[in-house]
Structure 1
Amino acid sequence: MNIQNTFTSRIRLIAGAGLLSLLAACSTVDRAPSPELAKDASWAVLPFENHTETPMAGSRAESIATAILQTRGVNSVKRYTGDAQQDALFDGQNGKRREDALSWAREEGVRYALLGSVEEWRYKVGVDGEPAVGVALEIVDVSEGKTVWSGTGAKSGWSRESLAAVGQKLIRNLLDTGIAKAR
């Protein structure tokens, strides 16, 4: 009986390790340490680049990021009002669009700007149709023009999970680190 208990314990341990590795494979995140940021400073969410084939993926991620900043205590969050549309996959205007948005932020007196790009925003093809999201975010100190924080991540969900929910979890995970020391 003792041999069977040992065998059963090892099977459970291997199964548990396998399950944990399977869950860990569903999400990858890399990010810089959190900088000292002022929550009461003026913030702006600038256009996210859309590197996907999904129309408006950048705008969807921007909306989620704006709401998460506000729920995390950032009081003043503005949205860029200029030409933010970028649905052509290879339109070649990303650099100009970024500079125009940063100029707008300077004119508005914004201290920090959140910029991003969406690398993946889709349901995977297959029986389960799992949602998959990939984003890269950066916080720029507008007055200095330098990036003070950046993070990137990818996450997939389960077959019955919504694409927006997976995107929200990933963006929240990234931003919670990016603004963790904001006071």
Structure 2
Amino acid sequence: MFQNILLGKRITACLLLIGTIVMGGCKTTPYQNSEPIEHMSVLILPFKNLTSTPEAGKTISALFISSITLHHVMYLSSASNGTMKDIQKMTESGTLPNSILQPLAKEHIDAVLFGNVTEYEYRSGLSTEPVVGFTWKMISTKTGRTVWTGAVSQIDTCFWFCHDTLSEFGKELVDAAVDKRLSDDYQYQSRQDYFNRSD
């Protein structure tokens, strides 16, 4: 009987440990939704790569472009290489000055999306699992306000049956972020329509 109790405690401890690993690998922060992003014309900058994996920043920004294009969420805008480099330097402070935003607004660009890639690697544990982390911010060129921001840091907790590559897992996280924002916008618009009808 003592052995059964001891075995039960060991199993419980293992389950708690696994649960801690699973929960510890996932972290998201709420988005700041100040206005709907749908149908905006957005300039997406290459994300800054803070990892040791080459091209991680460009990969995540490309995934945002792909997801936005697939969902037909926003219109993608472009700028000259010189302008892009100037803007990228400015984003290191986490915001953009009016001297940058106003000329973009005159070019009918509604917002600028940029961010950092903090994790993009394979981590060895119970199995080799992809780990992806990134932050992003989208600023309105007309108001200078942040219209979308968030952070994701997650490990693919598929254990022994993991087949996702880094890019596949990154795509899942980016798609989920875009889906979540669209859902938030839809709910916000539904509430606004309800209150307008009530008036």
Following the alignment from structure 2 to structure 1, what is the Cα–Cα distance between the partners of residues 136 and 101? Answer: 15
1 or 2, which has the higher helix percentage? 2
Following the alignment from structure 1 to structure 2, what is the Cα–Cα distance between the partners of residues 35 and 173? Answer: 19
> 1:155 matched to which residue of 2?
154
Q: 1:68 to 1:101 in 2, by over 3 A?
A: farther
Q: Map of 1:83-162 to 2, 5 A cutoff? A: 94-95=89-90, 105-125=104-124, 128-157=127-156, 158=159, 159-162=162-165
SS in 2 for 1:180: helix
SS in 1 for 2:108: coil
**What value does the CA root-mean-square deviation take over the aligned residues?**
3.6
> 2:169 matched to which residue of 1?
166
**What CA deviation, in whole Å up to 9, does each residue of 1:125-157 have, x standing for no partner?**
567332111100111111122212210110112
Bigger mean CA offset, 150-159 vs 131-140: 150-159
Structure 1, unaligned stretches of length 5 or more?
1-10, 86-92
1 or 2, which has the higher strand percentage? 1
Alpha-carbon distance, 1:102 to partner: 5.1
Q: 1:124 to 1:80 in 2, by over 3 A?
A: farther
Check the 8 A contact 1:27/1:156 in 2, yes or no.
Answer: yes
Which structure ranks higher in relative contact order (CA pairs < 8 Å, sequence separation ≥ 6)? Answer: 1
Structure 2, unaligned stretches of length 5 or more?
1-9, 187-199
- TM-score, normalisation: structure 1: 0.71
Alpha-carbon distance, 1:29 to partner: 0.6
In the comparison of the two structures, how many residue pairs are matched?
172
Larger Rg: 2
Check the 8 A contact 1:34/1:179 in 2, yes or no.
Answer: no
Check the 8 A contact 2:139/2:148 in 1, yes or no.
Answer: yes
Q: 1:96 to 1:123 in 2, by over 3 A?
A: same
Bigger mean CA offset, 131-140 vs 23-32: 23-32
Percent identity of equivalent pairs:
20
